Structure 1
Amino acid sequence: MISAEHLSKRYGSHPAVDDVSFTCEPGTVTGFLGPNGAGKSTTMRMICGLTPPTAGRATVDDRAYRRLGNPGRRIGVLLDASAQHPGRTGREVLTLAALTMGVPRQQVDAGLERVGLNKTAAKRRVKAYSLGMRQRLGLAYALLGDPGILILDEPANGLDPEGIFWMRGLLRDFADRGGTVLLSSHLLREVEAVADKLVVIGGGRIVAQGDKAELLAASGTVVKALDMPALRAALERAGLTGTETADGGVVVQADAEVIGRAAAEARLVLLELRPADSGGLEQMFLTLTAGETVKEVVR
């Protein structure tokens, strides 16, 4: 399990991450989403012990990453697909990792095959790899120690559609066998297809988190009345707030029965009362992160 508790990171006067808390449980894929500069990578680096937090703490199976005796056997990390020695071959990269982690060398070829790097690719130097091939090598590195946890930052960058579909299946299978996955990606439809839970961050703070189905279902109810000013007054008396729609209706974060009762008590004629259309993860993401400005920070 991954646990982030009140994590904060400041660079001078800039709060890159501000009081972020969430957990990733075994058997689940958690999609970690946010616009560029929102604090995703900084949060993941704090979890992996690469960036010290200004406040708060992060643990992996109840221990700080730096206190794991052989972290590669507990947690697989892919934060930067280009962070491999360009002069080494793919097989050399994994062989050195196997020696470091105490993994049998015969698992190197199995690891390369698992991510779709054939014998020819294994003999090529990393500097000759495409971005997609580097992503596959980085994932092979993360999986080499047979960890129970994966932390992946944009692992699908550079992959073709077939590769993205393959990675989705691999991560889903990993979680279904009891593994824990924290996945950051801008490919929202792929995250929607594979994730069980979502954590959305904007401006360094969490703006939404929970089960994917519940978050995507929380679109509200559309209501429209013959007398819209009277409807707004009735909703206000009932303690309900709404957002105007382009066609003159109101989206209210309440179910149809609650809204209908409020309208009936005010003797209003309703022209429309229905669940709001869900635009899926993409629409939810755009709504939650609207207006966020990207601030580049020198690290």
Structure 2
Amino acid sequence: MITIDSLTKRYGAQLAVSDVSFSCTPGTVTGFLGPNGAGKSTTLRALVGLATPTSGTATIGGRAYRDLPNAGRQVGVLLDAGAQHAGRTGREVLTLAALVLGVGQERVDEVLGRVGLAGKPAAKRVGNYSLGMKQRLGLAAALLGDPQVLVLDEPANGLDPDGIFWMRGLLRGFADRGGTVLLSSHLLREVEAVADQLVVIAGGRIVARGSKQELLGGRGTLVRGPDRVVLERALRTAGIAVVPGEGDGLVADADPLAVGQAVAAAGAVLTELRPAGGEGLEELFRSLTHADGSQQVQEVAA
């Protein structure tokens, strides 16, 4: 369980994050999203003990990362795939990490195979790795201690499409086995594909949080027909509020059954009737992070 509670971090006069609060529960992947400079990295660094909050707390299982005994056995962290010794081989990097964590060589072999670096890639020096290979090695290091929590910043950066698909399955499988994943990424489509929960940050503040289904699902019912004026009149007569929808559609503030009954009672004709919304994560992200600074938190209880 990851809990960020009223986290605020200042660097001198600069306010990096302000009153940030959200949680990540076991068995879920939480997508942590925001534009550059929004405060994502600062939040993650505070969570794993690399930055000290000015106020508020960031805990894992109710304890600060620094207070966890042998933290790498409980929390796998990947914040910078390039932060590895370029002169060592991939196997050497993991072997040294295994010695620190107190895990055996068999675990090194296991994670190398799991991330696709077994055999010749493991014997190459990290300085000769591609960015995608460095990401895989970073994920191997995060998984090495067999943790229950993963904290990942841009883990798909540099991966090819097959690699991204592989990573999606790895994270989904980790969560489905009861693990907790906090994932920061600019690849919105991939986050949408794997995440259960979404947290969006802009200007150092949380502007949306909740389940993916409810944040992206929209509200109301979209209706279309050959005569928009007749449809609108029928709905308003039934006491159902209506606003313009996409294209020539209308969005009615009622469920599809109530909308269909109102339209049928008026003898109007429908060509489309479905739940409104569903524009996707990219549209939600743009609407929340391109505001003029007057954002209000959009929160949906999971």
TM-score range, shorter chain: 0.7 to 0.9
The offset of 1:262, in angstroms, is 11
Confirm whether residue 289 of structure 1 aligns to residue 289 of structure 2: yes
Q: Secondary structure at the match of 2:3?
A: strand
Change in CA separation of 1:93 and 1:252 when aligned onto 2, cut-off 3 Å: farther
Question: Counterpart amino acid of 1:148?
Answer: Q
In the superposition, the TM-score normalised over structure 2's length comes to 0.83
CA contact (8 A) 2:218 2:275 kept: no
CA contact (8 A) 1:245 1:251 kept: yes
Q: Secondary structure at the match of 2:84?
A: coil
Question: Counterpart amino acid of 1:226?
Answer: V
CA contact (8 A) 1:203 1:292 kept: no
Change in CA separation of 1:206 and 1:257 when aligned onto 2, cut-off 3 Å: farther
CA distance in 2, matches of 1:39, 1:91: 34
- Match in the other structure for 1:114: 114
The offset of 1:249, in angstroms, is 6.3
CA distance in 2, matches of 1:273, 1:169: 34
CA contact (8 A) 2:242 2:253 kept: yes
Change in CA separation of 1:21 and 1:261 when aligned onto 2, cut-off 3 Å: farther
Q: For residues 97-149 of structure 1, give each alpha carbon's deviation from its aligned partner in whole angstroms, at most 9, with x where no partner exists.
A: 00101111222122211100032111111111100000000000000000000
CA distance in 1, matches of 2:248, 2:25: 43
Q: For residues 20-42 of structure 1, give each alpha carbon's deviation from its aligned partner in whole angstroms, at most 9, with x where no partner exists.
A: 11111111111111111111111
CA distance in 2, matches of 1:262, 1:123: 69
Cα RMSD of the aligned pairs, angstroms, is: 3.1
Change in CA separation of 1:139 and 1:279 when aligned onto 2, cut-off 3 Å: same
Q: Secondary structure at the match of 1:201?
A: strand
CA distance in 1, matches of 2:38, 2:262: 39
CA distance in 1, matches of 2:123, 2:247: 61
- Match in the other structure for 2:298: none
Q: Secondary structure at the match of 2:7?
A: strand
Q: For residues 190-237 of structure 1, give each alpha carbon's deviation from its aligned partner in whole angstroms, at most 9, with x where no partner exists.
A: 111111111111111111111111111124444796399999x99xx9
Per mean C-alpha deviation after superposition, the further-off stretch among 125-134 and 30-39 is 30-39
Question: Counterpart amino acid of 2:104?
Answer: P
Per mean C-alpha deviation after superposition, the further-off stretch among 94-103 and 28-37 is 28-37
Confirm whether residue 96 of structure 1 aligns to residue 70 of structure 2: no
Q: Secondary structure at the match of 2:214?
A: helix
Q: How does 1:26-41 map to 2 (within 5 A)?
A: 26-41=26-41
Change in CA separation of 1:84 and 1:192 when aligned onto 2, cut-off 3 Å: same
Structure 1 regions of 5+ residues with no counterpart? 294-299
CA contact (8 A) 1:219 1:278 kept: no
- Match in the other structure for 2:140: 140
CA contact (8 A) 2:135 2:158 kept: yes
Count of residues paired in the alignment: 287
Structure 2 regions of 5+ residues with no counterpart? 294-302
CA contact (8 A) 2:117 2:136 kept: yes
